[in-house]
Chains A and B, each alone.
Chain A
Amino acid sequence: MTSRTPPSEPAPPPQTNRADLPRQFPDRGAMVQDLAARFPLASGGASPIRGGSKPALAALEAVDPVRYAASRNHLGGAVSGLSPYIRHGVLSLAQVRDVVLERMARGPGLVSEKLLQELAWRDYWQRLWIRLGDGIWENLEPLKTGQAEAAYAQELPDDISEGHTGLACIDAFARQLIDTGWLHNHARMWLAAYVVHWRRVRWQAGARWFLRHLLDGDAASNNLSWQWVASSFSSKPYLFNRANLERFGAGRHCLGCPAAEDCPFEASYEDLQTRLFSAPQGGGQASGEQGKGGAV
């Protein structure tokens, strides 16, 4: 009477149905070609970043909380690349938490909790999504830029989405987004600030663009981060300047930029605030330190 029973009956013999999508392909190229035909509205090609638990576990194995904390703000820093796998549950947040805590305990002395906090940011965004539902598409608070809602364009201009603004950094970020579906968190913030503050486009237009492309695209992390930059979910708008971009940008962009002599980011934070906003911001802009979580 008390013998253990399986949770459910064994499966019936496998049945196939003509409308089942295929599970076998000669190679990745053939798979991509097949999927392109099945999803004719989906633009572009495949990312070099692969799905599945093998690449996910390799990325998890490489996680180093010490190097992460020391270099995460730099484009060339030791970020984990785990976000696409966490977003789709290939790895659970609890599983990554355990690895991070174990490595923190192993580390020399007191190890920074920055990486753990980045995981917590994702948990935080998810909890907000549950609470707010589709409300994450609306401003959570009024903008602090002093600009009227109506001053922001509804649509993303083509030169941004196609990577033809003439600004080497911005175009490189756009192309990386389109080609790979992943961007360093700092690049996401710079790109978002450019779209919302310099080009005065509604954050929702930028958020929708990111969701089309990011492998870790998730309306909670994505939209709420855009709102953080825009200032509808923060006490002031996020800005950067050229010095900040040069410091953290791995020296990749300004050299040879066609706009280097007339760079829209070449200014002090005070000057940029005066130029871009009509409301007093008070207290000066935060430095280049990333202020919120995004891609881990």
Chain B
Amino acid sequence: MDRPVLWIHTEALGPANPALLAHPGRPAVFVFEPGLLEGGGGPISLKRIVFLYECLLELPVTIRQGDGAEEVLAFAARHRADGVVTSAWVDPQLGDIAACVAAALPLQVLVPEPFVDLPEQVDLRRFSRYWRSAGPRLLPDPAAPETPT
């Protein structure tokens, strides 16, 4: 991918956005899509939009309103891009947009540094079980020797 555009979404509105760091200077877009962040409960309040907007104004990003995938693809066409770069998401709504984008153009997804590295099948039935795995990885026992003897 030589001429990508960057798709910035609601989970990565900071200067450490992996796509912005990997491709400084490339055109980037954010889309306010109807239904964004709603969870089916009706439109989000204006204060949430203002908050997102204030984050966006700090980033070198074009701000659009409309269907997420259509806008990202139109933005790519406008810049004669040969692909789209974005960062990993959790919200399935973003996954739906990403799937539509990927059906039309190569999509590269950059994964930010995790909070803690855990096996994929870690037990998530209760926080206490998760913490049994995560805690020692975050807080190694200070009394333990640095290398096994």
Question: Which residues of A are in contact with B by a Cβ distance under 8 Å?
Answer: 7-12, 14-15, 17, 19-21, 23, 31-32, 35-36, 38-39, 41-47, 49-54, 56, 84-85, 87-95, 97, 101, 113, 116-117, 119-124, 126-131, 133-134, 137, 178, 180-181, 207-209, 211-215, 217-220, 222-223, 292-293
Closest A residue by C-beta to B3: A9
Task: List 19 other contacts, CB 8 Å, given A51-B55, A218-B91.
Answer: A11-B27, A12-B27, A19-B66, A20-B64, A31-B53, A39-B46, A50-B54, A52-B55, A88-B51, A89-B16, A91-B14, A92-B16, A117-B135, A120-B130, A127-B118, A128-B124, A129-B91, A129-B92, A211-B41
User: A21, B112: Cβ atoms under 8 Å?
Assistant: no
User: B124, A131: Cβ atoms under 8 Å?
Assistant: yes
Complex interface: chain A residues within 8 A of B49 (CB): 35, 39, 42
| Residue interface mask B36-68, A partner, CB < 8 A = 1 | 011111111111111111111110001111100
User: A129, B90: Cβ atoms under 8 Å?
Assistant: yes
User: B27, A219: Cβ atoms under 8 Å?
Assistant: no
Complex interface: chain A residues within 8 A of B52 (CB): 51, 88
Which residue of B25, B37, B87, B122 is within 8 Å of A217 (Cβ)? B37
Question: Which residues of B are in contact with A by a Cβ distance under 8 Å?
Answer: 1-4, 10-17, 22-23, 25-27, 32, 37-58, 62-66, 78-80, 87, 90-92, 112-116, 118, 122, 124, 127, 130-131, 134-135, 138-139
Complex Cα gap A127–B80 (Å)? 36
B127 → A minimal CB distance (Å): 5
Complex Cα gap A122–B49 (Å)? 22
Complex interface: chain A residues within 8 A of B56 (CB): 51
Complex interface: chain A residues within 8 A of B39 (CB): 137, 207-208, 211, 217, 219, 222-223
Which residue of B22, B47, B57 is within 8 Å of A213 (Cβ)? B47
Complex Cα gap A44–B46 (Å)? 6
- Write 29 A-B pairs (CB below 8 A) sorted by A numbering: A8-B3, A11-B26, A21-B64, A35-B46, A39-B46, A39-B49, A41-B43, A42-B46, A49-B51, A50-B54, A51-B13, A51-B52, A53-B14, A88-B14, A89-B12, A89-B14, A92-B16, A93-B115, A116-B139, A117-B135, A127-B130, A131-B124, A134-B92, A181-B47, A208-B40, A212-B38, A217-B44, A222-B39, A223-B39
Complex Cα gap A120–B62 (Å)? 33
Residues A113 and B139 in contact in the complex (CB < 8 Å), given A92-B112, A123-B115, A127-B130: yes
User: A94, B13: Cβ atoms under 8 Å?
Assistant: no
Closest B residue by C-beta to A40: B43
Which secondary structure dominates chain B's binding surface? loop
User: A8, B2: Cβ atoms under 8 Å?
Assistant: yes
B40 → A minimal CB distance (Å): 7
Complex Cα gap A50–B112 (Å)? 24
Residues A88 and B124 in contact in the complex (CB < 8 Å), given A7-B23, A127-B130: no
Complex interface: chain B residues within 8 A of A42 (CB): 43-46, 48-49
